[in-house]
Structure 1
């Protein structure tokens, strides 16, 4: 009963945080509101969440990483793949090595392996927190794609580094040769298992659907189980479950393209996954807040680990770590973007500037906000060593990681909107021509299918004039669309404007229909079942119209 109450408290806090962050006059990011609400829960109730590291890792990370891999725009990622890899792999390794030695130097009482583990968990960034911060100041789309790609890959690379650091702490030794060989197996097998599981499950699901029909609820449940299955299978073979979940998500994109589910299934599945993502990310930050009172209560004891007596030293350590992370990221981002610009000048355009704008570098640096993955990773530190003794400086590492998360969120929420205001990136090639060509191709395919269908129906049922008239009305609609998309840019722009106007008018009409149905149901002129059916049809039309 206590566990159920805790879960309900957490979910209510997540719901309230979403509304509260929109009501506040200041642009305070939702994660900070969730941390505050979690702290209030921890202070006002007698319930305490005892987090099992392995259970926490299993419940939260696989679905979140799977969804990131599934939804990230693959083509946009490939455009800036070099920059993404430099940030997600090179910067992570630099952060783990550099900050590991810095943390151990600043806090000698923290063993080097534990310092590397802490550096590994603070290396991944959280684009969801960045999106929440930049909600009121639109972040440039290309920058957001880079941050999303970086986060997807550095989550995996950071957590793999954490795994090696924890293994070194548990065994008391580290071999670079063994670690390199182990990394090849851990990464390669993890990725392979994620791909194989996703392909096998989606093929089996498609075969069953073709033979026996598709059931929406079971399709959604299967998509929810894939990341957990990939993770558990990879961990069983001592591979990276994290990379397996990421690979499963990326593979899901291509598997779904070739084996499409029903439209109703896709719509409901997207809604379910949106809810899962919102709930899990929110619960992680609420849990961070809920743990803070206990962490702060033990600050006096935690600081003794470092050899000091004043808890203010913990704040100094957090500031030192945040400053080190910011400095490393700023230098790395500047170098990475400068190399990218130099490559562009050499390959294509001599008008490309030699050096990136400082505001762009600063914004990219501040956008490296730590969040859910950092908290999830630090909470997975073992409770004890192999010999049963407590894991060294575990509470200190959790305290410092929590401090880094909060400090990075506060800094970004204060400074990132200022830096993003008016910031523009180099213009991207327009995808409008590609979109228009795809629409024309689809319209032509629809016309061919309608022509074929009306001939078949006329031969089977007679009354050819009736089927010809019906088919002509539909085909004329498609021909008008083809004509508007196939002419010059000026005509196409006018057609797109007309499309927007028609869309707005359709939405207003649908709103009026819904209002009339609701009023009729309230006045008992139609039954509730009829009203629900009609409103659902209108909802589907509205979703389709909004695109």
Structure 2
């Protein structure tokens, strides 16, 4: 139970860090996650917390590598194969050797095998971390593509080299010839096995799709289990589980067009699931870094008061050496990046060097070091983790401060206000088109209510104005119901039922807890105990209705249906008055448009629910689907015309097209499920 609680706190820390990151977008999220981990370190329950090293490789690294693989462009990878191989294998091996020998010369007591292990840990780069740093900058496309391909395979190179180094540390022996042979077997064996397993799993997925067994409840767990299964099989036969997982992910990416034969709903669910899983796992690793740093520093201080300063210096030195190596490797054309002239070539080489950010995989590999070596505590484990942490932090800090001076800022082609205004224009145009062609029948009203949900409420909502508008609408409803009672259009029971729904609407949309409480008292407690004649009469009617239902349980569902059908009829006149009032208010008080549109949306949604209970046959659904498809097509045509006349930019049009595609899937799905 304690383990579950610890993991839940880690997840909570990731969520809080993500929330804070949304408010401070200029700060790389990794720093915020590390800070969240530092806060957790003060909780006593984490004083002796240690996660099994095997968990990192299986649960975190394998899943992240599979996800990176399935989102890698095969055409770009093939086009840049020589550059990718040079950076992720050749440069990685040379970096590991140089870092290992330098570390061994600086810390002579550290075995050479462990020094190479440190080199293997701090070699892999993290394109995701680079993306978080450069999210507001224009990175050359060729450079960013190279970084993504490099990080995919140098992670695997580092992990294979780490396993070899730990194996040498365990046996105390290392043969260069045997080491190269073992590396080739583990490396290329993982690639071959990953290709075989990937082809089999993709074929199985396609088989399930063809059998129409492609619901999210089947396909999402199936895909999430894939990296675990592939990793465990590969490790069982002695090849690289990580490389096997990467290649399996690539096979999924290659077959993506065929896998899209499944439903659009599943595609959205699958994409969203992997985004969430990847974000959480990346976040957990950085939270664990913040969580572990205080304990690591305390352990180093207890062993030697100068250890922290020495290791800090070594970490910064190793980062500088690897950055220089990356610059020389690209500027000397050992890894070619396309450039038009010498100046652009030097700029690309500088960006490549500074973008050698180390992140999730480096940290996860450091934590994956065994706790024991030949039955004794793993030597220098704390030192290696601390140096890796320094390299990570330095590689995050340097580009955060330097790259803004080298790269132009990314300028959005449109603002959020422009997008929101364009949505309103688009929806208004579709609504006018529907009303012109089909009138104002039940079907059209339903579709208009749905389309209205596409609007974005712009700017700050004035709560006082909002409450006044809601109160005015409630008064209009009360007047309409009283008139209908006087004209014998409805009976007392229906009037009371409707006003209960109206009161619930007011309570639901109040903006503060105190307002909700006040209205709940007004419409609930006082109504229940009021001594007035009307209140006593209403209580008597409801008591009789409940008693009647209790005596006729078999007819209760039928009566409830009839009751809500009558409610839909009763609502017609009040809804017309509210709609008219809000439309007139929008004309006379344009400055209150945000509040008016929000109130309109609330009443439109209630009207849609009530009308749905009144008409629920299949013909209605079919007609509504047709109208929705027509409306979405009208929106697409509207955007196309605006782009053609240069009133909307291409980027703004693309954002609107994406909005329509998502809405079309969601709304049509919801209509068919109702």
What TM-score results when the alignment is normalised by the length of structure 1? 0.76
Distance 1:39 1:422 in 2: 32
Instruction: Classify the secondary structure of the residue corresponding to 2:46.
Output: coil
Cα gap change, 1:222 to 1:528, in 2 (>3 Å)? farther
Say if 2:138 and 2:409, in contact at 8 Å, map to a contact too.
no
Distance 2:612 2:61 in 1: 40
Instruction: Classify the secondary structure of the residue corresponding to 1:139.
Output: coil
Pick from 305, 310, 314 the counterpart of residue 313 of structure 1. Answer: 310
Deviation at 1:44, TM superposition (A): 4.0
Q: Which residue of 2 aligns with 1:281?
A: 282
Larger radius of gyration between Structure 1 and Structure 2? 2
Deviation at 1:330, TM superposition (A): 1.9
Q: Which residue of 1 aligns with 2:301?
A: 300
Cα gap change, 1:320 to 1:229, in 2 (>3 Å)? same
Distance 2:290 2:397 in 1: 14
1:172 aligns with 2:172: yes
Deviation at 1:149, TM superposition (A): 0.4
Cα gap change, 1:502 to 1:315, in 2 (>3 Å)? closer
Deviations along 1:124-160, whole A, 9 cap, x unmatched?
0001111110112232222211110010011111111
Instruction: Classify the secondary structure of the residue corresponding to 1:12.
Output: helix
Distance 1:19 1:226 in 2: 30
Distance 1:419 1:22 in 2: 25
Q: Tell me which moved more, 248-257 or 156-165.
A: 248-257
Cα gap change, 1:323 to 1:144, in 2 (>3 Å)? same
Deviation at 1:541, TM superposition (A): 4.2
Cα gap change, 1:186 to 1:527, in 2 (>3 Å)? farther
Q: Which residue of 2 aligns with 1:47?
A: 46
Deviation at 1:84, TM superposition (A): 2.0
Say if 1:41 and 1:290, in contact at 8 Å, map to a contact too.
yes
Deviations along 1:186-239, whole A, 9 cap, x unmatched?
122212222222222222232233235432221111111111111000000011
1:118-157 mapped onto 2 (5 Å cutoff): 118-157=118-157
Say if 1:227 and 1:245, in contact at 8 Å, map to a contact too.
yes
Distance 1:147 1:275 in 2: 23
Q: Tell me which moved more, 281-290 or 7-16.
A: 7-16
Cα gap change, 1:72 to 1:298, in 2 (>3 Å)? same
Deviation at 1:402, TM superposition (A): 1.0
Q: Tell me which moved more, 80-89 or 154-163.
A: 80-89
Distance 1:149 1:212 in 2: 35
Distance 2:93 2:391 in 1: 18
Distance 1:540 1:160 in 2: 44
Cα gap change, 1:168 to 1:20, in 2 (>3 Å)? same
Structure having greater relative contact order (Cα 8 Å, sep ≥ 6): 1
Say if 1:520 and 1:526, in contact at 8 Å, map to a contact too.
no
Deviation at 1:340, TM superposition (A): 5.4
Distance 1:502 1:28 in 2: 30
Say if 1:193 and 1:233, in contact at 8 Å, map to a contact too.
no
Distance 1:127 1:212 in 2: 37
Q: Which residue of 2 aligns with 1:264?
A: 265
Distance 1:296 1:316 in 2: 14
1:376-391 mapped onto 2 (5 Å cutoff): 376-386=364-374, 388-391=375-378
Deviation at 1:545, TM superposition (A): 7.8
Instruction: Classify the secondary structure of the residue corresponding to 1:336.
Output: coil
1:57-456 mapped onto 2 (5 Å cutoff): 57-211=57-211, 213-259=213-259, 260-302=261-303, 304=304, 309=306, 311-336=308-333, 352-354=340-342, 356-386=344-374, 388-421=375-408
Say if 1:53 and 1:380, in contact at 8 Å, map to a contact too.
yes
Where do 5+ consecutive residues of structure 1 fail to align?
Answer: 345-351, 424-500
Distance 2:230 2:97 in 1: 30
Cα gap change, 1:507 to 1:328, in 2 (>3 Å)? farther
Q: Tell me which moved more, 48-57 or 241-250.
A: 48-57
Deviations along 1:388-446, whole A, 9 cap, x unmatched?
122221111111111111111111211122222279xxxxxxxxxxxxxxxxxxxxxxx
Distance 1:10 1:198 in 2: 32
Q: Which residue of 2 aligns with 1:512?
A: 452
Distance 1:5 1:527 in 2: 44
Distance 2:422 2:20 in 1: 35
Distance 1:503 1:518 in 2: 15
